[in-house]
Structure 1
Amino acid sequence: MSKNLGIKTLDDVQVENKTVLVRVDFNSPIDPATGKILDDSRIRMHAEKTIRELVNKKAKTVLMAHQGRKGSSDFVSLQEHAKVLSSILGLNVKFVDDIFGEKAKNAIRNLSPGEVLLLENVRFWDGETKKAPAEEHAKSEMVRELAPLIDVYVVDAFAAAHRLHVSMVGFAPVVKEVVIGRVMEAELTALKRVREHPEHPCVYILGGAKAEDAADVAKAVLSQGIADAVLTGGLVANLFLYAKEINIGDVNREVLAKKGFLELLPKIKELLAEYGDNILLPQDLAIDIQGKRKDIPIEELPTEYLIKDIG
């Protein structure tokens, strides 16, 4: 067990000749024209930190991951991910276009020690993204079908760990051995260090397209004196700009509305009123004009074009 974290890790279980289910985060940028993976850094990180160790220890490794979300252009099969992983590991990673049906279960049963199997995109099953407690998810069809085949469940998808989805929390109540993988261990160790012993000045950067928790994170680190300032980018910046009553343009407001982010406005306005001097918004933005980037100052808002990032 990690003394610093108080959580069981791969050091606490014997995996040789055991079937180990690892929830990884392979979610990667995809070229919509070719379906090719544009950046394999997430796959490589799991391969080099967790999966290779399990292979070397002769575990029967089963990987579960998601790619994109329903309705998005990157909501695709994980077959290409298996090819990329094979290249990184230098071994043939098996792939099955099934999640918990007979094809998947037979593939798991037929694994030999040291082999790796990647299941199909777990979000192809609609039940995956249902939000519910672990105990309820443990009764789901997927867990009922797969859990009897699993000896050890490894949680390694740090970037998805905040989601109460079946693959993230449903196996823990019913699988005998539950541990965190090396990616999760490294991330939690780093997070613990910056939260408990931050070096000052300390700046947090909140960006990207997932703005759901941005206000809560900003308030936590500012109110506890962990961060001296918070920088915003991506959709997080657009949301904060809009909360500050800056007209970002109808097309960009519609993006926020479609993602349900407008519901966060009261909380963000309250946050800006209390910590406005410590929350830095972009002074310029990058817009997309027929596939070409153009930087514009905030003063030129609103814009009829999509805001893609900070300038």
Structure 2
Amino acid sequence: QIIIAHQGRPGEWDFTDLREHSNEIEKIIKENVNFVDDIYGKKAIDEIKKMKKGDIILLDNVRKIKEEMDKKTPEEHAKSEFVKKLSPLADAFVNDAFASAHRSHCSLVGFIPVLPSFAGLLMEKEVEMIGKMLNFAERPRVFVFGGNKEDKIEMIKSLIDRRIADKVIIGGALGNAFLKDISLRKIAEGKIVYPVDSIEERDIGEKTIDIFEEEISRANSIFLGGPMGVFEEKKYRKGTEKIFKAIANSGAFTLAGGGHTVAAIRMLGLENKFSYVSTGGGAMERFLMGKDLPVIEALIKFKR
């Protein structure tokens, strides 16, 4: 198996090689993983040609390749040196990077036109569970959002307009915006439940917690996408803790996703209490809004 992956973006603090990643993979799968500090040069090709059955190679950070992050079609990416050099050495391509499925990058879509290509098990599970929330989950369906205003308004409108969500609960900075701005409340009157009080605008207040918990208790399916406040600080954690626990213990089908959401779930020790916790951020949001995901579109288009 040849593993390709990325870490960080050029110029950022977390843009590193993948040597330590190979060590972590070894610990998880309890197999030897050969890290090669090359991507498609002579060293990488020589190591791949020496592979025996059962060998595993991790190539270096694909974002070191100039064309990796170019926004091109799968057909255009397939003409890159990266794909042209490595594809003859592979039997098939498996994409299991759901969290990056919204990006049309070279390593994600470039091999799909030229190799038999498949969705990995994680990709399959993500599509299944998010698809269930959108299409098959029992009603009433309640979507709970926190975080920033800019990230979520479009999604809330989309979920309500498409009749996916029966109710939308809003906390966090987004909730504060609804608390202050009457025009925002008119997006879908009767469908949106927003805060009625707050703790220094950094957490939802007691009255709001009671209202949110009541709505959650009526739901048969719940999506969670964002904390209720600045949960990293203990004095502003209560709203997030109470609402997350109410969802986790609701008995409903529960789906959660997003970086801050997952961090809060882990901090509260609730990972095993949710039906599914998604690895996706931007990819999950696009999926929820009914927008295309380039990786999935490519897998469908070039299905053999």
TM bracket (short chain): 0.5 to 0.7
Of Structure 1 and Structure 2, the greater strand share is in 1
C-alpha deviation, 1:204, in angstroms: 3.1
Match of 2:230 among 286, 289, 302: 286
Match of 1:223 among 128, 142, 161: 161
CA deviation after TM superposition for structure 1 residue 69, in Å:
2.1
Contact map agreement 1:198 1:226 (CA 8 A) in 2: no
Q: Is the 8 A contact 1:219 1:271 kept in 2?
A: no
Q: 1:264: which partner in 2? A: none
> Number of matched residues?
211
Provide the rounded CA distance (Å) in 1 between the counterparts of 2:25 and 2:187: 46
Percent of aligned positions that are identical = 37
TM-score by length of 1: 0.57
User: Residue 93 of structure 1 is aligned with which of 33, 52, 57?
Assistant: 33
Cα distance between partner residues in 1 of 2:9 and 2:46 = 27
| 2:73 counterpart of 1:133 | yes
Spell out, residue by residue over 1:203-248, the C-alpha distance to the aligned partner (whole angstroms, 9 max, x if none). Answer: 3345679x76x45543332222222344567xxx65x47976979x
Q: Which residue, out of 85, 89, 97, partners 1:145?
A: 85
1:181 to 2:181 alignment: no
Equivalent position of 1:295 in the other structure:
236
Deviations 1:25-76 (A, max 9, x none): xxxxxxxxxxxxxxxxxxxxxxxxxxxxxxxxxxxx1111111223332222
CA contact (8 A) 1:286 1:309 kept: no
The separation in 1 between residues aligned to 2:178 and 2:51, in whole angstroms, is 55
- Alignment pair present for 1:74 and 2:14: yes
Q: Deviations over 1:100-131 (max 9, x none)?
A: 21222222222111111111111122321111
In the alignment, structure 2 segments of 5+ residues that lack a partner are 204-228, 239-258, 265-304
Give the residue type in structure 2 aligned to 1:228: D
What root-mean-square deviation, in Å, do the aligned CA atoms of Structure 1 and Structure 2 show? 3.6
Change (3 A) 1:243 1:133: farther
Partner of 1:88, secondary structure, is helix
SS of the residue 1:179 aligns to: strand
- State the match for 2:188 in structure 1: 275
Flag the 1:164–1:270 CA change in 2: closer, same or farther, 3 A.
farther
* CA distance 1:81–1:133, shift in 2 (3 Å): same
- Secondary structure at the aligned position of 2:143 is classed as strand
SS at match of 1:204: strand
- AA matched with 1:87: K
